[in-house]
Chains A and B, each alone.
Chain A
């Protein structure tokens, strides 16, 4: 499938119908997830703040997942010099930065009533902040280098270096004493939380994932058009 979509023409005709389809599915899932989230009972310890989990955890998942996509696209762009891979990488970064910022802000709004602090220099929080800084660094590097081919290459290298941070984020709650809650879904003994919380969380997670998929396609299409416009402008000038 990936090799078929590597052809820009085929990608454009596929994404033309796939992007709105994914977007519509995401809207339905998020609506259902919100409904289930606001009909779930209050947590006996965390009260109503447990509802922040349904938007905080999917945003944090997406921050990491989008970075993995950015790293994958950057790898293909760097190794195979494929322009569609470069376009896909460029399309990822602002979306990933927005999801990561959301994870940090909603986490802070959850942390204040539960931990008594908006922010702590905890391993999980700090490593997610580093992830956000990698996104900003990627975007800044893209904007700073005028030659697009050089900008793509330099930012791809930065994106690949940043991949090291993903396992650090994931294992931070195991490697260090952390105020942040440990892994409670993908454990060997199965999810540790009740189904009334797990279902809305899973549905919201899937909704966020499909939303990203849809917007990734939309932004990659925009990038393909931008490159076509640039090529046409250069031809017209020359």
Chain B
């Protein structure tokens, strides 16, 4: 059974999980955005490059 009552340590446990969740989600979002941005840019420039 899930135990989500952290009692007197709630002020330490939940911020630790909160900052971890934010950081991991942030890493995923920023990495995907960076990848999508440069892929689009590379394809745009290649299109311009190949234009006669």
Contact = CB atoms under 8 A, between A and B. Distances in A.
A is bound by B = yes
A192 interface: no
A156 interface: no
A59 B16 CA distance: 12
Contacts of B37: 222
Contacts of A211: 24, 27-28
Contacts, number: 107
Contact of B6 (A51, A102, A236): A51
24 contacts: A23-B28, A38-B4, A48-B6, A48-B7, A51-B6, A59-B20, A101-B23, A102-B19, A102-B20, A109-B16, A211-B27, A215-B28, A215-B31, A218-B31, A219-B31, A219-B35, A222-B37, A222-B38, A226-B41, A226-B42, A228-B42, A228-B46, A232-B45, A236-B49
Interface residues of B, number: 36
A182 interface: no
Chain A residues touching B, majority SS: helix
Contacts of A188: none
Contact of B7 (A41, A47, A222, A228): A47
Contacts of A52: 12-13, 16
B31 A225 contact: no
A102 B13 contact: no
A228 B46 CA distance: 8
Interface of A: 23, 35, 38-39, 41-42, 47-49, 51-52, 55-56, 59, 94-95, 98, 101-102, 105-106, 109-110, 112-113, 211, 215, 218-219, 221-223, 225-226, 228-229, 232-233, 235-236
B34 A219 contact: yes
Given A39-B1, A39-B2, A55 B20 contact: yes
Contact of A229 (B19, B28, B31, B45): B45
Contacts of A218: 31-32, 34-35
A113 B14 CA distance: 13
B13 A48 contact: yes
Given A48-B7, A222-B35, A229-B45, A98 B12 contact: no
Contact of A225 (B6, B8, B42): B42
Interface string B10-52: 1011011101100110111001101101110110111011000
B31 A98 contact: no
B19 A232 contact: no
